[in-house]
């Protein structure tokens, strides 16, 4: 604060009295130290909020905004929006799949996929912390009339052996096992990633037992960057894939459901039934295409930022059991003397937003709106706590 006062005093003393209000303020805002000096109170005007609550909070960049402004549009319900058609074709080609369907949200694309793969009274197999079970409003029961068999996985991931053991026998007393759903990366597993060999083993179990395999790939691009994987390898193994454009990729809205032509034709009908048919949706589709073309490789930066924050947290006595940081999600436990709610409140005092996901767990998520300076500031705040 002393540095701030001295510099303000010097500026004021050099400013003509009659133009203090205009010239002084303009000059201050042009100075490099104003934006980069952590000890100055006005530093927090520049970084009003450092938001780690989710990677869904990102805002379109100027270049993405230009893509939105210049989007060619038509009526997508009639299949006539060129921006949406280009987006769906681009995504399908990226994964080596036949067709794509743009949906307003990842929840909708997941729920449409489950509806297409199943019939009422059948069963979906997934990990107990899966997004499709925990965070989609009971949609599996409401939309598809299916029950769920939950598997206790390893940080959100399940194995081929567990899938095989979860499949019901051919017994009229049992629901017919029909679909296996994986989540990659696993949100509640701290952004954990599947190894390709394990997915291949699960695929073999599904084929042997006549089950479909769906991928909730809301943060799949994080996994692919972290593991240096090829999207077409995923396209070869899954019957359907949902990819989110509005998380780490930074688009304002939307997900894409990928699959074979007949599957996507069926999915398009269910999208209409669920109220997801949009008209001139190319305005948001253009943002999604920009995200796929420009914002994938940079995810490695988010992963490095997450590792730096985890490193700072690891030095604190009130932090326990930090999940291994593989991608852009940090989940950690706090000791009994320091509740998750209290830590979230303490972070908020410094304009740092985080989420308590349980009584003793906090989640932080890095994304493209988190800068290196923000990470440095956050680590400094952690050091003070």
What is the reported pLDDT for 16?
36
For the domain bounded by 62-294, which CATH number is listed? Answer: 3.40.640.10
Count of other CB atoms within 10 angstroms of residue 329: 28
Burial string for 234-265 (b: 16+ CB within 10 Å, else e) reads bbebbbbbbbbbbbbbbbbbbbbbbbeeebbe
Residues 192, 176: Cα–Cα separation, whole Å: 30
Which residues lie closer than 8 Å to 68 by C-beta, 6 or more apart? 60, 283, 284, 286, 287
What is the reported pLDDT for 6?
43
**Edge-to-edge strand list for the sheet holding 361-365:** 319-320, 329-334, 361-365, 355-356
Question: pLDDT tens across 205-229, in order?
Answer: 999 999 999 999 999 999 999 999 9
Listed in order, the ranges of the chain carrying CATH 3.90.1150.10 are: 298-384
Give pLDDT < 50 ranges for the chain: 1-47
Q: Report residue 256 as tokens.
A: 């894409």
SS3 89: helix
What is the reported pLDDT for 76?
94
Q: Give the right CATH number for 298-384 from 3.60.15.10, 3.30.413.10, 3.90.1150.10, 1.10.3720.10.
A: 3.90.1150.10
Q: Report residue 79 as tokens.
A: 């299949």
Question: pLDDT tens across 56-81, in order?
Answer: 999 999 999 999 999 999 999 999 99
């Amino acid at each position: 604060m002393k540095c701030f006062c001295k510099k303000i005093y010097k500026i004021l003393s050099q400013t003509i009295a009659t133009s203090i209000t205009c010239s002084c303020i303009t000059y201050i805002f042009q100075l490099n130290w104003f934006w980069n000096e952590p000890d100055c109170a006005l530093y927090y005007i520049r970084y009003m909020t450092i938001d780690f609550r989710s990677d869904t909070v990102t805002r379109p960049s100027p270049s993405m905004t230009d893509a939105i402004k210049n989007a060619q549009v038509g009526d997508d319900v009639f299949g006539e929006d060129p921006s949406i058609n280009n987006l769906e074709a681009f995504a399908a080609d990226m994964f080596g799949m036949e067709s794509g369907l743009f949906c307003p949200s990842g929840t909708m694309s997941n729920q449409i996929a489950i509806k297409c793969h199943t019939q009422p009274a059948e069963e979906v197999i997934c990990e107990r912390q899966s997004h499709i079970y925990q965070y989609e409003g009971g949609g599996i029961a409401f939309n598809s009339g299916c029950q769920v068999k939950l598997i206790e996985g390893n940080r959100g991931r399940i194995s081929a052996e567990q899938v095989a053991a979860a499949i019901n026998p051919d017994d009229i007393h049992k629901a017919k096992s029909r679909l296996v759903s994986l989540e990659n990366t696993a949100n509640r597993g701290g952004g954990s990633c599947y190894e390709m060999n394990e997915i291949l083993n699960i695929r073999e179990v599904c084929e042997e037992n006549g089950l479909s395999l769906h991928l909730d790939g809301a943060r799949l691009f994080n996994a692919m960057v972290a593991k240096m994987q090829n999207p077409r390898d995923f396209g070869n193994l899954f019957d359907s894939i949902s990819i989110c454009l509005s998380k780490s990729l930074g688009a304002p809205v939307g997900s894409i459901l990928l699959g074979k032509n007949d599957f996507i034709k069926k999915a398009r009908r269910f999208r209409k039934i669920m109220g997801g048919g949009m008209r001139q949706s190319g305005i948001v589709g253009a943002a999604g295409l920009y995200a796929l073309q420009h914002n994938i490789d940079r995810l490695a930066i988010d992963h490095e930022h997450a590792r730096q924050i985890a490193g700072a947290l690891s030095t604190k006595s009130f932090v326990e059991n930090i999940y291994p940081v593989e991608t852009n999600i940090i989940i950690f436990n706090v000791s009994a003397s320091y509740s998750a709610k209290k830590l979230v409140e303490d972070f908020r005092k410094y304009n740092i937003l985080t989420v308590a996901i349980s009584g003793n767990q906090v989640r932080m998520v890095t994304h493209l709106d988190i800068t290196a300076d923000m990470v440095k500031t956050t680590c400094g705040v952690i050091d003070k706590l």
